[in-house]
């Protein structure tokens, strides 16, 4: 096997879930959001581990019905909300078959879900998504009255939840916008109740909302970033200490002494200024080590920082190890994570490239094996 791998500490994810749960208190349920293969960490492994180790696990959240189906096929029994709803009628049927609860944000989805419920001789639960200002999924508050009246025609449907999504819960200078979103949602909830519906769940908060807007919780929070220990989407208010679960490693597969003035990599973007010891790493942008890291990023070798030199290419990346004491063929190289007394976080790496940690962990490709651990590796 090529020596490039990601380590995922499942015990850290379980511990982070537990901390979120303690923070929000026992009246509020916590959804572990594991869409996009658990933000690249591995949804199946996480779901199986959390079910086994957390007696008080409430919900999983995925984006697509297909993601939910994979979890059910892996034996996952916890309630699953499909945050992205479903596309057409055949998928509505799959949701029922696999006991996945979809969000609904178009009128025609009511018809599809009701039809699928009738065909399966059952009732179907769903969560209604309201667009309170994100401008993405959700019906507009102005459509709510018509939506509720339409819903009354479908006795096979159960309005199990009402939800919305905050756009800028992490940005204090946009507090007025967030307060307006919360007020809009509260008004919608009042309208829902006045129409005779009583959804069991009301929810609004992602990780940033969980940290900064406790007055808006409803009775369920949806945590992604916090679960993985990623905190760069939370703004400055991080009242919960979470632990990053993922680290990324490779090894030196070639060491080469080159003279001053040598060109390294595609496009001659780097020339050595001195005689240098250059190491080749078997990782590139196909693995999710983004090309934007070229000539900017650093990695850790023997606990010391070494710069990326030249362009990151598809399968290979070069680093300068001239200043590393005793760099050796086969040395472990840490791209994200700790090495002796130093560390590089996904957040720091993302900041170098002007993005967020989620994009990095989601971008780790299937070519990178995930090694699942339930305790520290060293
Ligand atoms: C992805 C997602 C979340 C989780 O967001 P984090 O910032 O990772 O906590 C919550 N709610 C919805 C609707 C989402 O799509």
Q: Is the shortest distance between the CB of 222 and ligand 1 below 6 Å? A: yes
Q: Is the shortest distance between the CB of 33 and ligand 1 below 6 Å? A: yes
**What are the pLDDT digits (tens) for 239-268?**
999 999 999 999 999 999 999 999 999 999
Which pLDDT does position 377 carry in this prediction? 78
Ligand 1 atom at shortest distance from the alpha carbon of 224: 8
Residue of the nearest CA to atom 15 in ligand 1? 83
Q: Which residues are catalytic?
A: 35, 266
Q: Is the shortest distance between the CB of 224 and ligand 1 below 6 Å? A: yes
CA 241 to chain centre: 18
- Give residue 274's region: left, alpha or beta (phi > 0; psi -120 to 50): beta
Which pLDDT does position 378 carry in this prediction? 62
Ligand 1 centre and the CA of 221: distance in Å? 9
Ligand 1 centre and the CA of 208: distance in Å? 9
Ligand 1 atom at shortest distance from the alpha carbon of 84: 15
The span from the CA of 48 to the CA of 27, in Å, is 25
- Please say whether the dihedral angle defined by the alpha carbons of residues 322, 326, 329 and 330, taken in this order, is positive or negative: negative
Residue of the nearest CA to atom 4 in ligand 1? 224
Sheet arrangement for strand 276-281: 254-258, 276-281, 317-320
Ligand 1 atom at shortest distance from the alpha carbon of 39: 8
**Mean pLDDT for the stretch of residues 210-226:** 97
Which pLDDT does position 366 carry in this prediction? 97
Ligand 1 centre and the CA of 3: distance in Å? 33
> Quick check: 264 and 271 in contact, CB under 8 A?
yes
What pTM was computed for the model?
0.97
**What are the pLDDT digits (tens) for 320-371?**
999 999 999 999 999 999 999 999 999 999 999 999 999 999 999 999 999 9
Q: What pairs with residue 103 in β-bridges?
A: 127
Ligand 1 centre and the CA of 103: distance in Å? 13
């Amino acid at each position: 096997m090529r020596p490039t791998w990601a380590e995922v500490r499942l015990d850290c994810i379980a511990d982070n879930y537990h901390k979120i749960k303690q923070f929000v208190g026992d009246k509020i349920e916590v959804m572990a959001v594991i869409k996009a293969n658990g933000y690249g960490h591995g949804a199946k492994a996480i779901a199986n581990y959390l079910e086994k180790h957390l007696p008080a696990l409430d919900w999983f959240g995925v984006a697509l019905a297909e993601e939910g189906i994979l979890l059910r096929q892996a034996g996952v029994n916890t309630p699953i909300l499909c945050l992205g709803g479903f596309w057409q009628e055949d998928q509505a049927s799959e949701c029922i078959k696999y006991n996945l609860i979809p969000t609904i944000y178009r009128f025609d989805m009511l018809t599809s879900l009701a039809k699928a419920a009738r065909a399966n001789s059952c009732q179907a639960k769903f969560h209604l998504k309201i667009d309170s200002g994100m401008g993405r999924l959700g019906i507009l508050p102005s459509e709510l009255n018509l939506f509720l009246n339409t819903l009354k025609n479908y006795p096979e449907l159960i309005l199990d939840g009402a939800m919305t999504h905050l756009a800028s819960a992490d940005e204090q200078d946009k507090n007025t916008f967030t307060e307006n979103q919360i007020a809009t949602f509260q008004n919608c909830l009042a309208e829902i109740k006045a129409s005779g519906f009583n959804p069991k769940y009301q929810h609004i908060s992602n990780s940033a909302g969980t940290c900064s807007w406790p007055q808006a919780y409803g009775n369920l929070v949806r945590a992604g970033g916090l679960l993985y220990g990623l905190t760069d989407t939370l703004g400055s208010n991080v009242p919960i200490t979470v632990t990053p679960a993922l680290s990324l490693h490779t090894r030196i597969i070639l060491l080469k002494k080159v003279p001053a003035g040598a060109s390294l990599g595609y496009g001659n973007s780097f020339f050595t200024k001195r005689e240098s010891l250059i190491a080749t790493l078997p990782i590139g942008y196909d693995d999710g080590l983004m090309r934007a890291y070229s000539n900017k990023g650093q990695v850790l070798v023997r606990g010391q920082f070494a710069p990326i030199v030249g362009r990151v290419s598809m399968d290979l990346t070069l680093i300068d190890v001239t200043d590393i004491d005793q760099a050796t063929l086969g040395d472990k190289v840490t791209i994200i994570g700790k090495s002796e007394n130093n560390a590089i976080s996904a957040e720091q790496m993302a900041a170098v490239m002007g993005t967020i940690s989620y994009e990095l962990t989601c971008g780790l490709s299937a070519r990178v094996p995930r090694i699942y651990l339930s305790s520290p590796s060293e």
